[in-house]
Copies of this chain bind each other. A is one copy, B any other.
């Protein structure tokens, strides 16, 4: 059957549905899309605070609780919101019904508490929309092959929304949140930060992985894989699309959709870094394995790694982990000292990682050198460097974070006019 109405998935996070008044406001926002002629499916999170309370119950009863029971308890948060929003829509004269994960169904693997969606049957949702109804789907959850409720882990409702958008072949997935889009950098640090109209999946992934927590990383990966166009926009502003059709939020899209690529799209930072340096290691094979094997076994994420060898045949190894993992990482490194025989162990958690991201740098040299020169001009010492195809990251002293971000924002021509 030919479909003429645009089909949109709208996703609302916890702060957007924090109380009954906001749920009513969300219902009006949905009505505006319905009135504009769209077919709409909605994905909701739990009302802000509800999930934390339920998680607290489980932890208090048993620190090592069964994740399947945790999921049964915690999934109720989204179930409540889905029913309440359907009621609110009906009160506005919009036909609507709620769907729980098992009703769609949204099938997951059985990694309870951090499950991954394996498949979604979109037929029921499409039929519901075809009848002029708005399905309201409880986010963050599905059902495993044994019929047990499974949750997707924190922020999983973004992933639910993107997966549902793919399953119903939606034209767009709108993620309503408490910011009005994706910025060139954190506006709290750089007043001249600009909202981006468009950003590529790849850039969004790099930004998310270095601390710009607008979208759950997995949701962006899934959007990229399924080619779902994602808009990030605010549930608290009433911006409508501009007369030229430009949307109010930021679109995360395929590279092909962006005509003029900027060299650098955004600058992100992460304060959740800690540095470990091992000095004067006798250089011989197996050193890296002896250090990083135990860390991987302990599920400690290692990010930046630099190895440098001096003239004396001694090598230095520096790497970063998350701040929360620092003490465990130190213990593991010390435990391997008999093999690594390092001379000195230095640690530092007063560091920040700054990353410049942009798909344009694939075809343009000079991005990294601009970064180093800009920092050097301000007397900022670069401690570690790592690069990917579309990203350059440096580790610097935390005290210089704001200065560095502002200077780089200007240097790459990102400042708003």
Residues of chain A at the chain B interface (Cβ within 8 Å): 20, 23-24, 54, 57-58, 60-62, 65-66, 68-73, 75-76, 79-80, 82-84, 86-88, 90-91, 97-98, 100, 102-103, 147-149
Query: A73 near B83 (CB under 8 angstroms)?
Result: yes
CB < 8 Å neighbour of A58 from B62, B87, B148: B87
Interface centre among A20, A82, A84 (most CB of B within 10 A): A84
Given A24-B61, A61-B20, verify A69-B98 contact (CB < 8 Å).
Answer: yes
Query: B57 near A69 (CB under 8 angstroms)?
Result: no
Copies assembled = 2
Question: Could you show 19 A-B contacts with beta carbons less than 8 Å apart?
Answer: A23-B61, A57-B80, A58-B84, A58-B87, A61-B84, A61-B87, A62-B88, A65-B87, A66-B97, A69-B83, A69-B87, A70-B83, A72-B82, A72-B98, A72-B100, A73-B79, A73-B83, A75-B79, A76-B80
Query: B70 near A87 (CB under 8 angstroms)?
Result: yes
**Interface SS majority for chain A:** helix
Cα of A399 to Cα of B23 in the assembled complex, Å: 49
Q: Give the distance to chain B from A49, nearest Cβ to Cβ, in Å.
A: 13
> Which B residue's beta carbon lies closest to that of A50?
B76
Query: B97 near A68 (CB under 8 angstroms)?
Result: yes
Query: A72 near B83 (CB under 8 angstroms)?
Result: yes
Q: Which residues of B contact A87 (CB under 8 A)?
A: 58, 61-62, 65-66, 69-70, 73
Q: Give the distance to chain B from A192, nearest Cβ to Cβ, in Å.
A: 42
Q: Give the distance to chain B from A105, nearest Cβ to Cβ, in Å.
A: 10
Q: Give the distance to chain B from A97, nearest Cβ to Cβ, in Å.
A: 7
List 4 tightest A-B contacts by C-beta distance, closest first. Answer: A73-B83, A76-B76, A72-B83, A62-B91
Q: Which residues of B contact A103 (CB under 8 A)?
A: 147-148
Cα of A65 to Cα of B82 in the assembled complex, Å: 14
Q: Which residues of B contact A149 (CB under 8 A)?
A: 100
Cα of A62 to Cα of B86 in the assembled complex, Å: 11
Cα of A69 to Cα of B90 in the assembled complex, Å: 10
Q: Which residues of B contact A80 (CB under 8 A)?
A: 54, 57, 73, 76
